[in-house]
Amino acid sequence: MPMDNGSCHRYCVYGIEIASDSPLALPQYSHDTLGHLECLQTPAPIFQQAIDTIVFESRSDSWYRHAVVRDGSTYVAWDLIGEFLVAADGRRIVCRRAAGCSAESFQVYMLGQAISFALVQQRFEPLHATVVVVNDQAVAFLGGHAFGKSTLAACFLEAGYRLLTDDLLNLQESRDGIRAYPGPPRIKLFPGIARRFLGAIADGVEMNPDTNKLILPIDEHRSCSRPVPLKAIYSIAAPHDASRRHDLTIEILSPRRAFMALVSGAFNRTLTGRQRLTRQFGMMARVTDLVPVKTLVYPRALDRIEEVRDTVLDDLRRDVGIARSSPDIALAMLG
């Protein structure tokens, strides 16, 4: 299904050139890209044909469904959002927006979860991280869903720092170390957090019917649209672990614990297989070699979030070495 060039929109996100048959809220294409991806809207019967005989790997009562199709494509769908078919080589996504779903909400899923399958198939290893730019260097906050990554990033935006990406971080090794690539210029925040740190939220759009989280566009003055070197990764402690703490701590992780944190912080933990694991093993070891990874533990109290931001900024100013006993084994699983 070659794209009709007359209706082709060309963008750049995560370092990838996107050719889409419908407009997307993304920066225009630039020539310095790492890969290429086509995004095409397709009517429902195409999906029905593709998934006719497949067995879903997610629970039947889940609003999210995922399966690998016979030709190696990946099918992912969310009720009330839409469905996506990602080609086995990761170079094409065909998609269908559900009736009633906003374009903004659909794009969050397409340019988040769905594109993560394409990125992994194209041999990238995206991390689950929100990233701000401090002194022209990327500072990543790594953590799972509802760990507070976006809230902390919003606090940095309030102080005049720019957003590089919210939720999905694509990385590439370059001559000057590891480079972090910009994501869509938007952030997902609860209304109260958005009001506090961004001011007006009139242009916010609900992310999905099950949450009041808003999708908020970030203008060019508060977002960064070019890749920047990755200065540090802060692995945010789970809210459950942090809730009993009153203190705020940053500790550098030993190399093996840094590696484990990175593996656990993979954005896409669904795709496995020998090739993917081999590649992920190599990439995460390189990131461990080149970028300090630290734990960030703080109480989940909004009135202390500026203190967290300032502590991170202080930490970035310091030059901290990597801390280095009977043998010890630590374990992690991807899936």
Partner 1 sequence: MPVSFSDCVRVAPDVLFRLVSDEGVLVNLNTEMYLGLNPVGARMWSVLSEASSIQAAYEQLLREYEVDPSELRRDLEEFIAQLHAHQLIETRPDAG
Nearer to partner 1, 225 or 254 (CB): 254
Least Å distance between CB 270 and partner 1? 12
Q: How far apart are CA 158 and CA 137, in angstroms?
A: 18
Q: Quick check: 186 and 165 in contact, CB under 8 A?
A: no
Nearer to partner 1, 276 or 304 (CB): 276
Interface mask (CB under 8 A) for partner 1, residues 276-315, using x and -?
Answer: -xx--xx--x--xx--------------------------
Q: Quick check: 17 and 33 in contact, CB under 8 A?
A: yes
From 258, 271, 283, 312, residue interacting with partner 1 (rule: CB under 8 A): 258
Sign of the four-CA dihedral 217, 162, 212, 79: positive
Written as six digits, the tokens of 61 are 């009562």
Site for partner 1 in 182-221 (CB under 8 A): none
Least Å distance between CB 291 and partner 1? 12
Least Å distance between CB 123 and partner 1? 17
From 102, 272, 299, 313, residue interacting with partner 1 (rule: CB under 8 A): 272
Class of residue 69 by CB neighbours under 10 A (exposed 0-12, middle 13-18, buried 19+): middle
Site for partner 1 in 149-168 (CB under 8 A): none
Q: How far apart are CA 132 and CA 61, in angstroms?
A: 37
Interface mask (CB under 8 A) for partner 1, residues 314-333, using x and -?
Answer: --------x-xxxxxxxxxx
Binding window for partner 1 (CB under 8 A); candidates: 1-9, 26-34, 84-92, 252-260: 252-260
From 255, 300, 304, 315, residue interacting with partner 1 (rule: CB under 8 A): 255
Each as own residue / partner, the long-range contacts of residues 242-246 (CB below 8 Å, 24 or more positions apart, any chain) are 242/297, 242/298, 242/299, 242/300, 243/299, 243/300, 245/297, 245/298, 245/299, 246/299
Q: How is residue 114 annotated by DSSP? A: I
Binding window for partner 1 (CB under 8 A); candidates: 55-63, 138-146, 152-160, 253-261: 253-261
Nearer to partner 1, 168 or 266 (CB): 266
E-assigned strands of 105-174? 127-134, 137-142, 162-165, 168-174
Least Å distance between CB 289 and partner 1? 6
From 138, 154, 263, 296, residue interacting with partner 1 (rule: CB under 8 A): 263
* End-to-end alpha carbon distance in the chain: 33
Nearer to partner 1, 173 or 206 (CB): 173
Q: Quick check: 291 and 320 in contact, CB under 8 A?
A: no
Please report which helix (H) or strand (E) contains residue 155, including its range: helix 149-158
Binding window for partner 1 (CB under 8 A); candidates: 69-77, 127-135, 136-144, 274-282: 274-282
Least Å distance between CB 173 and partner 1? 15
Binding status of residue 57 toward partner 1 by CB under 8 A: no
Total of chain residues touching partner 1, rule CB under 8 A: 30
Nearer to partner 1, 20 or 264 (CB): 264
- Classify 82 in phi/psi space as left (phi over 0), alpha (psi -120 to 50) or beta: left
Written as six digits, the tokens of 251 are 């500790």
Q: How far apart are CA 304 and CA 296, in angstroms?
A: 14
Site residues, partner 1 (CB under 8 A): 254-260, 263, 272, 274, 277-278, 281-282, 285, 288-289, 322, 324-335
